[in-house]
Amino acid sequence: MTAIVHAHHTPTLSERLKDASAAAFIALILGIPMIGMTTVDQGGFLAVMTRWPQLALFVGLTFAGRILFSLALETIKRRSQGRKSGKSAASAAEAANAALKRGTKPESVIGWLAVGIAVALPIFFSEDRYIIDIATSVLIYIMLGWGLNVVVGLAGLLDLGYVAFYAVGAYTYALLSTQFGWGFWEALPVAGGLAALFGVLLGWPTLRLRGDYLAIVTLGFGEIIRLLLVNWTELSGGPNGITSIPRPSVFGYAFLPPDTEGSIADLLGIEFSPMHRLLFLYYLILLLALLTNLFVTAMRRLPLGRAWEAVREDEIACKAMGINVTTVKLSAFAIGAMLGGFAGVFFAARQGFISPESFTFSESAIILAIVVLGGMGSQLGVVLAALVLVMLPELGRDFAEYRMLLFGFAMIVIMVWRPGGILANRAPTLIHVPTGDKA
Partner 1 sequence: MMLQMTGVHAHYGHVHALRGIDLSVQVGEVVTLIGANGAGKSTLMTSLFGAPRCSSGQIIFDGEDITRLPTHQISHRGIALVPEGRRIYPRMTILENLQMGVSYADPSNFEVDLKRMEALFPILESRRHQAAGTLSGGEQQMLAIARALMSRPKLLLLDEPSLGLAPLYIRKVFEIIQELNRDYGMTILLVEQNANHALKVAHRAYVLQHGEIVLSGTGQELLSDPAVRAAYLDGGSH
If one asks whether residue 102 binds partner 1 (CB under 8 A), the answer comes out as: no
Closer to partner 1 by CB, 92 or 250: give it: 92
> Is position 413 an interface residue for partner 1 (rule: CB under 8 A)?
no
Amino acid identity at 382:
V
322 binds partner 1 (CB under 8 A): yes
40 binds partner 1 (CB under 8 A): no
Q: Name which of 101, 95, 77 is nearest 10 in CA terms.
A: 77
Q: Which of 18, 79, 208, 319 binds partner 1 (CB under 8 A)?
A: 319
Q: How far is the CB of 221 from partner 1 (least distance, A)?
A: 26
Would you say 18 or 319 has its CB closer to partner 1? 319
**Short-list 227, 222, 167, 224, CA closest to 358:** 167
The reply on whether position 426 binds partner 1 by CB under 8 A is yes
**Binding of residue 89 to partner 1 (CB under 8 A):** yes
What are residue 233's phi and psi, to 5 degrees?
-60, -40
Pick the closer one to partner 1 by CB: 96 or 109: 96
List all residues 6 or more positions away from 349 whose beta carbon is below 8 Å from its beta carbon. Answer: 173, 184, 245, 246, 247, 248, 281
By CB under 8 A, residue 91 contacts partner 1:
no
Q: Which of 137, 295, 309, 392 binds partner 1 (CB under 8 A)?
A: 309
Binding of partner 1 by 97 (CB under 8 A): yes
Q: Are 129 and 286 in contact (CB under 8 A)?
A: no
Instruction: Number of helices (H) and strands (E) in the chain: give both, helices first.
Output: 18, 2
| Single-letter amino acid code for the residue at 79 | R
- What CA–CA distance (Å, rounded) separates 121 from 123? 5
Q: Which of 325, 406, 410, 416 binds partner 1 (CB under 8 A)?
A: 325
266 to 305, contacts with partner 1 by CB under 8 A?
303
Q: Does 438 bind partner 1 (CB under 8 A)?
A: yes
When asked if residue 310 is in the footprint of partner 1 (CB under 8 A), the reply is: yes
* Smallest separation (angstroms) from partner 1 to the CB of 431: 7
Q: How many residues bind partner 1 (CB under 8 A)?
A: 32
Residues shown for the chain: 439
Query: Of 76-84, 240-248, 317-325, 405-413, which part binds partner 1 (CB under 8 A)?
Result: 317-325
- The reply on whether position 320 binds partner 1 by CB under 8 A is yes
Cα–Cα distance measured from residue 77 to residue 6, given in angstroms and rounded to the nearest whole number: 9
Does residue 431 belong to the site contacting partner 1 (CB under 8 A)? yes
Q: Which stretch binds partner 1 (CB under 8 A): 124-132, 183-191, 279-287, 429-437?
A: 429-437
- Is there binding between residue 430 and partner 1 (CB under 8 A)? yes
The contacts found for 299-302 with CB under 8 angstroms, 24 or more apart, are: 299/150, 299/335, 300/154, 300/429, 301/429, 301/430
Residue 323 binds partner 1, judged by CB under 8 A:
yes
Calpha distance 423→105 (Å, rounded) = 13
Q: Which residues contact 67 (CB under 8 A, 6 or more apart)?
A: 16, 17, 20
Is-contact 364 222, C-beta < 8 A? yes
| Of 100, 113, 291, 298, the one binding partner 1 by CB under 8 A | 100
- Give the Cβ contact number of residue 127 at 10 Å: 10
Task: Select the residue interacting with partner 1 from 49, 87, 200, 313 (CB under 8 A).
Answer: 313
- List interacting residues with partner 1 (CB under 8 A): 89, 93, 96-97, 100, 303, 306-307, 309-310, 313-314, 316-325, 426, 428-432, 434-435, 438-439
